[in-house]
Amino acid sequence: MTFNHSLILFFPLLLASCSEQPSTEPSESASESSSIQDTLRYDQEVHLHHMKQLTFGGDNAEAYWSFDSEKLVFQAANNAWGAPCDQIFWMDLEAELEVKGNGLNQISNGQGRTTCAYFLPGDTSVVFASTHLVDSLCPAVPPRGPNGEYVWPIYAAYDIFTYDLQGNLISQLTTEPGYDAEATVSPQGDRMVFTSTRSGDLELYTCDLDGTNVIQVTSDLGYDGGAFFSPDGQKLIWRASRPRTEDEIVHYQELLSNGLVEPTEMELFIANIDGSDMRQLTDLGGANWAPYFHPNGEQVLFSSNHKTGSFPFNIFMINTDGTGLEQVTFDNAFDSFPMFSPDGKRIAFSSNRNNGRTRNTNVFLADWKD
């Protein structure tokens, strides 16, 4: 999930950087190259095969799978689609192997800003957060801090809703004051997890799919967000900041009081769905985020800049006991949001590759090979 969620905007430089393209990139246009297998991957990317580019232009991220592994729902900001800030779209992978810029299959109503859409069981409806009840316009993007620090907005206007794929509102799931967003659904189809400021801090909560039976999962000071369930629905993996020193705590709380977080130092945490047996999975430094369980439940994919503390961001894999760290993608700018299809055969992810040295972040699809 985007850090609030255009994590594609994790740093402004992220999208502005001019990266090298894969060495095997052909001279064809972007749409033509999408039909040529494996010209979009780097030679070192041994787990990824038959890579295809699904979007062309704008900022596209957080492409999450339907339960039947045949659809993707994602958020996009694209002026050509009438979406100046993130709106929710979906695509059928059998019928549409690329979005051609016509705003096809928009779910959200175009008002406010939306984030983190996820399919519900049955694949006829999705859950996502939106600010539209407070303002029909896109909310303001905050400036950097006084020393150039990158900050994320935690919009208090976000509430969580369910819509059908035709864009009809089904229900509003949250009504608490403050930020409610980042909802994802258990593969078992019985619970969802989301992030909320209802306690005064950014914590994880689970609930039934109708928004009832809310249970708080985390309680340590710091940003807990971007959580996903394990394949068996018994564990959660998420990103977290943990301010420890007095100065760090004061800084974090001051930012949060102004609806902001500074997501440059985050590690991955894992726990049972009730919060028990919580432990820190990574200790790499930098920003480690966008975790997602491998279908075997024993490994996790995630995005990280731990090698440099800045750019690039690449996708890595690690065992759930913290061993076996392996680099999966080798881009020179930004790869993130790795999501396995429920059948375990493919992954979707977002990347700056093949963007013609623009600021575009697009959705890619690849077959996965262990």
Average pLDDT estimate for 230-235: 98
Inform me whether the pLDDT recorded for 25 exceeds 50.
Answer: no
Average pLDDT estimate for 232-241: 98
Inform me whether the pLDDT recorded for 363 exceeds 80.
Answer: yes
User: What would the pLDDT profile of 125-154 be if each residue is shown by its tens digit?
Assistant: 999 999 999 999 999 999 887 777 889 999
Cα–Cα distance measured from residue 48 to residue 56, given in angstroms and rounded to the nearest whole number: 20
Of 196 and 309, the structure prediction assigns the larger pLDDT to 196
Average pLDDT estimate for 58-74: 97
Supply the pLDDT for residue 96: 61
Task: Give which of 354, 367, 252, 288 is closest to 25, Cα–Cα.
Answer: 354
User: What would the pLDDT profile of 148-159 be if each residue is shown by its tens digit?
Assistant: 788 999 999 999
Of 103 and 195, the structure prediction assigns the larger pLDDT to 195
User: What would the pLDDT profile of 166-185 be if each residue is shown by its tens digit?
Assistant: 999 999 999 999 999 999 99
pLDDT band at 100; cut points 50, 70, 90: low
User: What would the pLDDT profile of 237-293 be if each residue is shown by its tens digit?
Assistant: 999 999 999 999 999 999 999 999 999 999 999 999 999 999 999 999 999 999 999
Cα–Cα distance measured from residue 194 to residue 207, given in angstroms and rounded to the nearest whole number: 8
Average pLDDT estimate for 21-31: 39
Cα–Cα distance measured from residue 362 to residue 62, given in angstroms and rounded to the nearest whole number: 10
Decide: pTM greater than 0.85.
yes
Residue 28 structure tokens? 């064809």
257 CB-contact burial (10 Å; exposed 0-12 / middle 13-18 / buried 19+): exposed
In order, the DSSP letters of 60-94 are EEEEEE-TTSSEEEEEEEEGGGTEEEEEEEEEETT
Give the DSSP H/E element, type plus range, for residue 32: helix 30-33
- According to CATH, the topology of domain 7-368 is Neuraminidase (2.120.10)
Average predicted confidence (pLDDT) for the chain: 90
Supply the pLDDT for residue 268: 98
Average pLDDT estimate for 19-48: 61
Residue 325 structure tokens? 């760290």
Supply the pLDDT for residue 311: 83
Supply the pLDDT for residue 147: 78
Instruction: Show me where the domains of the chain are located.
Output: 7-368
Inform me whether the pLDDT recorded for 163 exceeds 90.
Answer: yes
Residue 42 structure tokens? 């780097």
Q: What percent of the chain lies above the pLDDT cut of 90?
A: 83
